[in-house]
A and B are shown apart, each in its own frame.
Chain A
């Protein structure tokens, strides 16, 4: 498969065209927003938490195919998981995208399709935006700031300072 086809796999394009988790939640416990200034991608996550479990997730992502697909996959993957399980999943996805895992871990379903992004280093931050936003939101929640909207800015802020 050509590298381009490996990044834009049918699974990715399907999630991009029909993102999951678009339905807003009635009872969100936590809202986290992420922004990637270098490409302008914006993501807003609403999460319903109960007993440390992510009961439901709403994802609203405006961005490129990779960030939208990654957010859509997140919506499917984290539902019903505990904080610890979600953190471990995010850690594995980061390692996979950075090429530190030879193969996608076996049990991550559609998310394995994100492995193709690792051949395009400038796009890795697109794939990570939803995950960074989720984990930072959960960390802040766990740290005792559960009220209101938690605004999380992606780790790639420095890219906005590039000049032409």
Chain B
């Protein structure tokens, strides 16, 4: 990046038409506060996003007007709650490319969605000598469940390697996915590198050899238009809380015939059809996987988050974030010594940017930035195998969303410069 473009960033990075970030910022009450006397600059959306007023209001409204248990009650509130809950399911099904609502299972989060597959489909279908292929850029939620499943079932846990540039190394994938491979687990977007992985290509290869594919969409679903049928994945897992919705709501998409073949996960409540003293039958999809009283209020409020994103349009969301990411990569590269992880090409990556300073530990970076009102993440990002690969113990990570603009990037860059002066390096 030259100093010329720095002087006139607008000429190089024009704002995305149709996105009014000032208006969007105003929709998020939490952003209108100061931290240590500075405007809050929230750059930790890869950990969890902030929530717009509509989502917060949807939660309040639900408890004020609707609250009841679902599917069992025969009164007005129960009907209203059931309808709102199931409407969110249909909405979610439309949001990820128009699948059937029965193919959407609500869980507590991405981690639980992945564990659900490992403990049901995995236990049923993985045996001794079978192979599970997991990429080295997974965070723990899409790594440990498969590692443990392989251990329990005496299966072979294989690693899909990564390159130093932060891409999957697909050069040996023809042998890594073979006749013994039963499952390939891969993130759609890395939470450390920001890399968007070629999930569709991997899925085609896997299916040719009879393996299934689970994609971890926790980082992708908030930022990209998602079409799970076009991606041709068998399972897709993501969380509400990273995409403007409440915490405690995860989504598992599974192909209908797979979900039908899988045993239940939690026993009790809504997943039961009939219970006798000698026989128990389970409910149809998707309720078979939703034992107990689910997180009704938060699921209902998730509907408002999906509507908010749709009103902007996921193409626009992606376009805006690509512009911000490009601007951030260019501006961060102006800081001498700063090492930025992951692809430089914004067509290959999303908006999570990990970086390290040669002289200042990520935790000191985080503490200093927080003092300036800037929230980032520092640590191993629950991706310790990846950190080991990088030879680092931790990185600092700034991650962007629809409510971030170039002024936020400028605040980050200015603070990082101040930080180097402060620490005398």
Contacts and interface: CB of A to CB of B under 8 A. Distances in A.
Interface residues of B, number: 28
Interface stretch (A22-30, A35-43, A76-84, A88-96): A35-43
Interface of A: 2-4, 7-8, 13, 16-17, 37-42, 62-66, 120, 123, 126, 160, 162-164
A13 B423 contact: yes
Interface stretch (B263-271, B290-298, B315-323, B364-372): B364-372
A39 B380 CA distance: 7
A144 to B, nearest CB: 33
Contacts of A37: 380
A162 B368 contact: no
Nearest to B392: A40
A119 to B, nearest CB: 11
B60 interface: no
Interface in B343-380: 360-364, 367-368, 371, 378-380
Given A4-B371, A65-B361, A38 B141 contact: no
A126 B362 CA distance: 13
B367 A120 contact: yes
A62 B391 CA distance: 13
Contacts of B360: 65
Contact of A164 (B362, B381, B422, B423): B381
A123 B363 contact: yes
Interface string B173-211: 000000000000000000100000000000000000000
Contacts, number: 59
Given A126-B363, A160-B384, 9 more contacts: A8-B422, A8-B423, A40-B393, A41-B393, A66-B364, A123-B363, A123-B367, A163-B111, A163-B382
Contacts of A8: 422-423
Given A4-B371, A39-B394, A164 B363 contact: no
A38 B382 CA distance: 10
B380 A40 contact: yes
A40 B387 contact: yes
Contact of B363 (A42, A62, A64, A163): A64
Contacts of A16: 423
Nearest to B381: A164
20 contacts: A3-B371, A7-B367, A8-B422, A8-B423, A13-B423, A13-B424, A17-B424, A38-B379, A39-B361, A39-B363, A40-B380, A40-B392, A40-B393, A63-B361, A120-B367, A123-B367, A162-B382, A164-B47, A164-B141, A164-B382
